Amino acid sequence: MTKTATTAAPGYPELNRLLALMTGDEKHGPAATSTLDALWVLYDRVLRVSPESADAAERDRFLLSKGHGPMAYYAVLAAKKFLSEELLPGFGSYDSPLGHHPDRTLLPGVEIGSGSLGHGLPLAVGSVLGLRAQGLTGPRVWVLIGDAELDEGSNHEAIAFAGPAGLEQLHTLVIDNASASYGWPGGIASRFEAAGWSAETVDGRDHEAMYAAFTAPHAGRPRAVVARVEPKS
């Protein structure tokens, strides 16, 4: 059974300490650190979900498509009390719920099991359609993807569908650390805009810029925010 935390929640300055408790996947360290600031802004100021409402129908959904290097995700979940920080040192061990890719059956607040790149955005599109079918127009669906995932054809189809379908509840956060093989003329945001999305590019370390972009109105259109961080080394 997953442990639940009882002490006061850590804040942003504690995230590096929480990250340091998890070892054994250093090759994916840049994948983790590139997402840390964006994840924090989402969970601290934007997402309408908490440990108490993790199963509520009206909650916001967050889908981590960039499932490799999930240490930042686990650190933020621990900081927000979805899980106990006592679990962090066991990251990746045989009997730990904190796998090298998140598992929705093992952790509260985790919406999808992720690992195969290119799956998160199509799943997010399906989540919005499912919410609509239930008459739930309030919950927002957020999905975090990496820039290299945009090389996958499944994402191209999801982008092409979501714009004309007017999926306003859909929000895509692209972490751009210059690891894509091909790129897009005019930049990543222009790819979404060409398909009818509202899109913006921001500094992925600037919390205020990300918050403004995450909360900008986009009536009748899905929203994409491209967060640029230092290139992957």
Taking the model in full, what pTM does it have?
A: 0.91
**117-175 per-position pLDDT tens digit:** 889 999 999 999 999 999 999 999 999 999 988 888 899 999 999 999 999 999 999 99
Q: Which residue has the tokens 């590019």?
A: 201
Contact 92, 25 (CB under 8 A): yes
Cβ atoms within 10 Å, residue 54: 14
**207-220 per-position pLDDT tens digit:** 999 999 999 999 99
Spatial neighbors of 192 by CB under 8 A, at least 6 apart, are 159, 163, 172, 199, 222, 224
